[in-house]
Structure 1
Amino acid sequence: MKAKSPIKPSKLYWDDLNEGQNYVYGEYLVTEYELTQFAYKYDPLDFHIDAHKSKNTPFGTLIASGIHTLAINQRLSVNHVYKNWHLIAGKSMSNCRFIRPVHPNDVLTVNLTIKKLIKSNRPDRGVVELKFIVINQINLPVLKVDGEVLLLRKPPSSIQLKQDKDTI
């Protein structure tokens, strides 16, 4: 007979998170094709779309749009963190700083820290304040941004069950 393993919740609630908790995730290769295609559609400046013209800019080469870097941060966060949380919605972004350019063939990783957990006026949800730092393959930051997301709180019955279990 096999021993039963403890049941793990499939997703985390606001109540399961801790201030100071840190996640490091992703290895996202930014290809020249993706960089230019994104820029053609959303940010068609020469230094994002034209390798020849970008040589005559202060950057001297193609660089990714900052909006593209934000989108990569979002994609990695969904794939590695948000899909494991009971996420309701994004709430805000602030203090966005593009620290240095992202170039073709850069590999990006996200360092995410939970800054603060805030109870909502509504008892079924809470706000999570986040700090994102996106770094390149040589561990240099390329993007820093703060964010807030809204998460579900544990249903009252599961909180009570946990409290009952802790007292046994």
Structure 2
Amino acid sequence: MSEKVRYFEDVADDERLETGSYLVTEAEILDFASQYDPQPFHIDPEAAARGPFGRLAASGWHTLGIMMHLMVTHREGGMPGLASPGFEDLEWRRPVFAGDRLRVVSEVAEKRPSRTKPIGIVKFATRVLNQDDQAVLEIVTIGRYRRRASTGTGAEAGG
């Protein structure tokens, strides 16, 4: 993982991130859900067998955590260095089960300089895929990047 800070100008319009994979285990499904999402289909294998997924499924919030882990540990060239303002359009498409191998594909969807601050905003269309290349999660993630040549307002860069 790189600690280099990336600037808005470093993000290519056609940038694409594809991560390595992550194997989901039953132990971590149970551990995460026991602490943060203790619904029966996440924490009780017997109840889960009678539930909507037919077996124990990972919490969607757990899947988001795995996505973040993969994105941070596989991004080359550094991270934005500024806290994200949030995300848009979160959709859990399919359940995640123990034994699933997840990976992330993320592509620049929109890139614009701030009109009032020395930063740029980049939106990424991000998908978490399972071992069958089926999307289990889709989300628009948002990164805030410092501008390289800025006097503080962002206006001089077309903002």
Aligned-residue offset at 1:122: 4.3
Larger helix proportion of the pair: 1
Whether the 8 Å CA contact 1:134–1:144 is kept in 2: the answer is: yes
Match of 2:153 in 1: none
The match for 1:162 is: none
Counterpart for residue 133 of structure 2 = 139
Distance 1:146 1:82, change over 3 A: farther
1:93 aligns with 2:87: yes
- AA partner of residue 127 (structure 1): I
Q: Return structure 1 stretches of 4+ with deviation > 4 angstroms.
A: none
Q: Which residue of 2 aligns with 1:26?
A: 20
Shift of 1:124: 2.7
1:68 alignment partner AA:
H
Task: Give the partner amino acid of 1:28.
Answer: Y
Computed over aligned residues only, the root mean square deviation of the Cα atoms, in angstroms, reads: 1.8
Q: 1:107 and 1:54 mapped to 2: Cα distance?
A: 20
Report the count of equivalent residues.
148
CA deviation vs aligned residue, 1:89-147 (integer Å, no higher than 9, x gap): 11121111110000001110000001111101345311111111000011111000012
TM-score calculated relative to the size of structure 1: 0.82
TM-score, structure 2 as length reference: 0.86
Unaligned 5+ residue runs, structure 2? 151-159
Aligned-partner Cα distance in 2 for 1:35–1:62:
8
2:100 is equivalent to residue 106 of structure 1 = yes
Relative distance call for 1:126 and 1:141 in structure 2 (3 A) is same
Deviation at 1:50, TM superposition (A): 0.8
Deviation per residue, 1:41-84 (Å, 9 max, x gap): 11000110111111111211000000111111111111122871
Question: Is 1:151 paired with 2:145?
Answer: yes
- Structure 1 unaligned regions, length at least 5: 1-9, 157-168
- Preserved contact between residue 91 and residue 147 of structure 1 (Cα < 8 Å): no
1:126 paired residue number: 120
